[in-house]
Amino acid sequence: MDLSTSIGPQFQEATKYGRGRPVPQAPGWASPPPPYKQYESYLDRVELPQAETVAGPGLWATIAGRRSQRRFSGRPLALTELSQLLWAIQGVTGEVPGFELRAAASAGALYPNETYVVAQAVDDLAQGVYHYDVRGHALGLLADGDYSADAAQACLGQTWMANAGAVFVWGAVVARCAWKYQNRAYRYLYLDAGHLGAHLQLAAQALGLGSCNVAAFFDDEVARLVGIDGRTEVPVYVTAVGHPD
Ligand SMILES: Cc1cc2nc3c(=O)[nH]c(=O)nc-3n(C[C@H](O)[C@H](O)[C@H](O)COP(=O)(O)O)c2cc1C
């Protein structure tokens, strides 16, 4: 198949930085879109235990041991484990004037990706779809119930996902990044999400858990699952985490 005149190469070409082409400028630091999504209310709010920030297994062994895991035992994750995983991807780990910095890097420190968790089997956490409140290190319940089959079906029927303890979904708030980078932002949403997926896999490995990143999904179904419109906030990436079988 010759892609040369189709949308992929056109996008790549149109969003190139090049000498002689103007680099898009942020319209001014006075009015950036907020880096945190605020819900008026959650159905319930669950404070997460404080995450470990010092001790842990060595990085090299963790990298060497990472493998995609698609066979899960169904044993529930501990809430402390879920807390640790969320901290490892988006926990606030630093501050510079005007920015709270998070565990995984983000273009321009704009952090366009919101994290949602489909809690399938987590001790001390009701099954449901949650939003991660980064600042509060808490989970906000958006929909209660067992959504494990919906998550797997939304991911092209990858039924193995239903045995995971939790399915993480990232939705990118486009304006948060496009405000500064315009159409080039679409590159950065995905690059940022890749960092999140990599952090999550390594954190899972460090906890003795298994994980698998998933990009094969029906976009509109994943958007519906986590309650986003799929246009101003687009689903970009999914990762299932659980105890290996
Ligand atoms: C962007 C991306 C998308 C992926 N999507 C899927 C997927 O939809 N389903 C799946 O089973 N594995 C998926 N994977 C996992 C890859 O198949 C896996 O990383 C690859 O086979 C290498 O194996 P390893 O991760 O065990 O080293 C994805 C990985 C990446 C990085």
Averaged pLDDT for residues 234-244: 98
Of all protein residues, the one whose alpha carbon is nearest to atom 19 of ligand 1 is: 68
Q: What is the pLDDT of residues 30-88, one digit of tens each?
A: 678 888 999 999 999 999 999 999 989 999 999 999 999 999 999 999 999 999 999 99
Angle at 221 between CA 129 and CA 83, to 5 degrees: 25
Tell me the pLDDT band of 199, cut-offs 50, 70 and 90: very high
Per residue in 154-198, pLDDT (tens digit) is 999 999 999 999 999 999 999 999 999 999 999 999 999 999 999
Residue nearest to atom 21 of ligand 1 (CA): 68
Burial of 50 (0-12, 13-18, 19+ CB in 10 A): exposed
Give nearest CA residue, ligand 1 atom 17: 68
Q: Which domain holds residue 172?
A: 68-242
Q: Which helix (H) or strand (E) holds 99?
A: strand 99-102
Distance of CA 177 to the CA centre of its chain: 15
pLDDT of residue 231: 98
Q: Which atom of ligand 1 lies closest to the CA of 216?
A: 8
Considering only CA atoms, which of 73, 89, 86, 49 is closest in space to residue 243?
73
| Residue 147 covered by a domain | yes
Q: What is the CATH number of the domain that holds 179?
A: 3.40.109.10
- pLDDT per residue over 207-225, tens digit each? 999 999 999 999 999 999 9
pLDDT (0 to 100) of residue 28: 65
- The predicted pLDDT at position 29 comes to 59
Is the CB of 70 within 6 Å of ligand 1?
Answer: yes
**CB 216 less than 6 A from any atom of ligand 1:** yes
- Residue 139 · residue 46 · CB < 8 Å: yes
Confidence (pLDDT) at 147: 98
Tokens encoding 55: 């001790």
**Alpha carbons 57 and 12: distance in angstroms, whole number:** 39
Phi (first) and psi of residue 100, to 5 degrees: -95, 125
Each residue of 147-169: b (16+ CB within 10 Å) or e? Answer: bbebbbbbbeebebbbbbbbbbb
**CB of 212 shorter than 6 A to ligand 1:** yes
Question: How many domains is the chain partitioned into structurally?
Answer: 1
Question: Rounded CA gap, 148 and 169, in Å?
Answer: 13
- 213 Cβ closer than 6 Å to some ligand 1 atom: yes
54 is a domain residue: no
How sure is the predictor about 2, in pLDDT bands with cuts at 50, 70 and 90? confident
- Rounded mean pLDDT, 221-238: 98
42: helix, strand or coil: coil
**Structure confidence at residue 30 (pLDDT):** 61
Ligand 1 touching residue 152 (CB < 6 A): no
Mean pLDDT for 15-27 is 84
Cβ atoms of 119 and 125 within 8 Å: the answer is yes
Half-sphere exposure of 184 (CA within 13 A, CB side): 14
- Atom 4 of ligand 1, nearest CA residue: 214
pLDDT of residue 34: 87
pLDDT of residue 224: 98
Going from the Cα of 93 to the center of ligand 1, the distance in angstroms, rounded, reads: 28
Question: Are the CB atoms for 73 and 242 separated by under 8 Å?
Answer: yes
Mean pLDDT of 98-123: 96
Q: Quick check: is 145 in a domain?
A: yes
Question: Order of strands, edge to edge, in the sheet holding 113-119?
Answer: 45-47, 138-144, 128-133, 113-119, 166-173, 233-242, 210-214
Averaged pLDDT for residues 99-109: 96
Cα-to-centroid distance, 182 and ligand 1 (Å): 29
